[in-house]
Structure 1
Amino acid sequence: MSRVTFTRSSTRALAVGAALLLTAGTAAVAVASGEDGTRPARAAEAKPREAAALTGSAKLFRRTTEDVTFTFDAHLAKRHNADPTKATGTFRFVHLDRPGGKGGWAEGRIDCLLTGGKVASATGIITRTNIGRMKGSRVGFSVHDQGKQDRLGYSWAATGGPDGTKKLTKCTSAAPFEKVRQGTGDFHVTPWKVPYPEGR
């Protein structure tokens, strides 16, 4: 039986080979764990999830020439999870008699946001509008994020238009009875993680 002898060069070759195998093994573990070796781990990339959100823009369904658009960018930070009245962001709505025609518009700041599953309820204070009596009033919105055809409601559903009230309770609105016109955009709701009390 012949003996295998190790020269200095063959020892060096074995060391290099072992190093390559170790590198390959580390890469295999990274791939198996969801890392590709060229990007940081997902945990390092992940950003803190906000407590709740309502975002997006869409036009409401109408059988007339009316052009009605609602836009939301409302957020509740993770640190304010137990207090929906700490929500921030903006809203805007426009109601024209026809695209590019006459009508009213308003925009403002969000002051409350509650979400459950794919349903959101929010309120805000109107800060700018072309209808003077509405400035400074609180209005409410509700949204059902259904994916293809969302629904929307607003606090003035029973009165025909925002009435300038400043007494509306925060996060109060009507059921989301309106339908969004398909192909005009949609809304996205991030569910609130309710801070249920824990037993002792």
Structure 2
Amino acid sequence: MQRRTKVAVLGVVLLLTVGLTGSAVAAGSAAASGVEDRPQREAAALTGTAKLYRSLGDDITFSFDAHLAAKDTADPMQATGTFEWSHYLNGDGAWAKAKVDCLVTGGKVAVVSGVVTDTNLPDAKGTRVGVTVHDLGHRDRLGYSWATTEDLGPKDLPKCVSSAPFEKVKQGTGDFTVVPWQPDF
């Protein structure tokens, strides 16, 4: 082997050795200090928008932007965000927006509750409502706490209470995403 080739090979080997040793030392230091390079994921989330299927052609839309921070993993009532919905048929209908006050998820199912902060429904402002979502890809399902009542239900509805996800999402509109909650109990 020529001398220049030997020097070049030796230089590459030396650089690789130093690089690998430095990486191992840095990784060992991070592990020893309990610090990781990757960010911690949020504890739970429900996001997305979809229209519900109704054979009469009702225009019903639900949208969610609800999150539980990693630091609050033990307390789902620290969830933040909003959700909103609207229901129109032949130009008549209503809409509402709620501030999230609880979010619990398990697998691909989420239950979120919140207090109505803005709406065109009479006497609905200040009412707590709950919604359940089952994230099934493009076949998502949804349920809501007022499913069996004439209006949005009782003003004293507990946090994170809703009904089973009995409604079907209109084909091609479901994009709900549920981040499963994994509490450290």
Give TM class, smaller chain. 0.7 to 0.9
SS in 2 for 1:133: coil
Give me the CA root mean square deviation.
2.3
Check if 1:151 corresponds to 2:150. Answer: no
Check if 1:82 corresponds to 2:74. Answer: yes
Which residue in the other structure is 2:183 paired with? Answer: 194
Alignment partner of 2:112 out of 82, 97, 122: 122
Instruction: Structure 2: give runs of 5+ residues left out of the alignment.
Output: 21-35
Which residue in the other structure is 1:33 paired with? Answer: none
Q: Is the 8 A contact 1:149 1:186 kept in 2?
A: no
SS in 1 for 2:9: helix
Over the matched positions of the two proteins, sequence identity in percent amounts to 51
Q: Quick one: distance in 1 between partners of 2:70 and 2:99?
A: 19
Question: How far apart are 1:155 and its partner, in Å?
Answer: 0.3
The correspondence of residues 8-47 of structure 1 with structure 2, limited to 5 A, is 11=3, 13-23=5-15, 44=37, 46-47=38-39
Q: Is the 8 A contact 2:137 2:174 kept in 1?
A: no
Q: Quick one: distance in 2 between partners of 1:113 and 1:148?
A: 22
Q: Quick one: distance in 2 between partners of 1:142 and 1:52?
A: 14
SS in 2 for 1:134: coil
Which residue in the other structure is 2:60 paired with? Answer: 68
Which residue in the other structure is 1:58 paired with? Answer: 50
Q: Quick one: distance in 2 between partners of 1:185 and 1:27?
A: 47
* Count, aligned residues: 170
Which residue in the other structure is 1:111 paired with? Answer: 101
Question: How far apart are 1:185 and its partner, in Å?
Answer: 2.8
Which residue in the other structure is 2:28 paired with? Answer: none
SS in 2 for 1:186: coil
TM-score w.r.t. length of structure 2: 0.83
Give the structure with higher Rg (CA): 1
Compared CA separation, residues 19 and 87, structure 1 to 2 (3 A): same
Q: Is the 8 A contact 2:142 2:165 kept in 1?
A: yes
1:157-196 CA-to-partner distances (Å, cap 9, x unmatched) read 0014314x32000000011100101111321111110322
Which residue in the other structure is 1:39 paired with? Answer: none
SS in 2 for 1:193: coil
Question: How far apart are 1:27 and its partner, in Å?
Answer: 9.0
Question: How far apart are 1:144 and its partner, in Å?
Answer: 0.8
